[in-house]
């Protein structure tokens, strides 16, 4: 899947692109059926909300789930990022964010590259988020909020919030958020399962709590150019990967083919 010139222009202007219903219902069923099994596991890669029970995010599922390993190598998700950067990419981070009905907590205003730069010593913002809705995302179940154009600010000053939620985050000051919103506004892309988002790693974003009776699960691939790999290794490997092997894409129908395997994930590790 390649971006058109108008899509490239829109991405440069707004910092994100939205592709409603890019994946089929059959493909989504394959992925959704795998989520309960993953969330039921007791492993360090699964971060839970403050109650210690409700799953918040599952890191690195592409290394222990064949289904999500195939998604991590899917051309509809990987190819547009390689097109923008003009070079191969590796998996810096993979997570299944589950904002569960009634109990899904807030994600504060932040920039992903700000975290990757401070915590992982990623040199430049040559990394991208690509996400796919496993559930319908509506105005009630905690959709992502974007501030269009905020990626052009570069890395914004942030403080390390270790108290608000169960997961520490480098968050923006309210006055800076207000300034950015007055300039660019807020958008909240919504759509059915199978919709895909692609957004710049400096785009300021967050999401409110989910007080609705509907789950909202979104899978994120954080893809980084191989030449821009991280230089610092203080976080667990399942949060900030140390394998800089370029992703080898599978066929476009890989999610629906039982004869295609996503695992084992490449292990050409290039650690510190």
Look up the CATH number of the domain holding residue 49.
2.60.120.620
Do residues 125 and 80 lie in contact, with contact meaning Cβ atoms separated by under 8 Å?
A: no
Of residues 29 and 167, more confidence is placed in 29
Domains identified in the chain, total number: 1
Confidence of residue 165 (pLDDT cuts 50, 70, 90): confident
177: left (phi over 0), alpha (psi -120 to 50) or beta: alpha
Is residue 264 situated within a structural domain?
A: no
Q: Is residue 265 part of a domain?
A: no
Instruction: Provide φ and ψ at 35, rounded to 5°.
Output: -65, -50
Residue 162 lies in a domain: yes
Owning domain of residue 63:
5-256
* Domain-embedded: residue 261: no
Segment 188-232, tens digit of pLDDT: 999 999 999 999 999 999 999 999 999 999 999 999 999 999 999
- Does a structural domain hold residue 197? yes
* pLDDT value for 268: 55
pLDDT in tens, 44-81: 999 999 899 999 999 999 999 999 999 999 999 999 99
pTM metric for this prediction:
0.94
- Percent of the chain with pLDDT strictly greater than 90: 90
CB under 8 Å to 37, separation ≥6 — which residues? none
User: What Rg, from alpha-carbon coordinates, does the chain have?
Assistant: 17
| Residue 34 domain flag | yes
pLDDT over threshold 90, residue 185? yes
pLDDT exceeds cutoff 90 at 267:
no
On whether residue 252 sits in a domain, the answer given is yes
């Amino acid at each position: 899947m390649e971006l058109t010139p108008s899509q490239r222009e829109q991405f440069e202007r707004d910092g994100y692109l939205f592709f409603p219903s890019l994946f089929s219902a059959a493909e989504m069923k394959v992925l959704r059926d795998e989520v309960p099994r993953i969330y039921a596991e007791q492993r360090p890669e699964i971060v839970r909300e403050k109650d210690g029970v409700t799953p918040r995010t599952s890191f690195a599922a592409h290394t222990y789930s064949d289904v999500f390993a195939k998604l991590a190598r899917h051309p509809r998700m990987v190819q547009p990022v390689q097109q923008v950067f003009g070079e191969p990419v590796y998996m810096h981070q993979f997570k299944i964010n589950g904002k569960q009905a009634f109990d899904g907590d807030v994600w504060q205003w932040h920039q992903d590259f700000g975290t990757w730069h401070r915590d992982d010593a990623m040199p430049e913002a040559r990394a991208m988020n690509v996400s796919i809705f496993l559930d319908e995302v509506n105005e009630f179940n905690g959709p992502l909020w974007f501030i269009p154009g905020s990626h052009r600010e570069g890395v914004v000053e942030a403080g390390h919030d270790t108290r608000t939620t169960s997961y520490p985050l480098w968050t923006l000051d309210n006055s800076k958020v207000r300034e950015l919103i007055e300039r660019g506004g807020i958008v909240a892309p919504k759509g059915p399962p199978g919709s895909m988002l692609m957004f710049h790693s400096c785009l300021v974003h967050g999401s409110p709590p989910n007080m609705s009776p509907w789950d909202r699960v979104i899978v994120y691939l954080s893809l980084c150019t191989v030449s821009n790999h991280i230089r610092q290794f203080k976080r667990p490997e399942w949060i900030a990967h140390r394998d800089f092997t370029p992703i080898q894409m599978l066929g476009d129908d890989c999610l629906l083919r039982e004869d295609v395997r996503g695992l084992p994930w490449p292990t050409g590790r290039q650690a510190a």
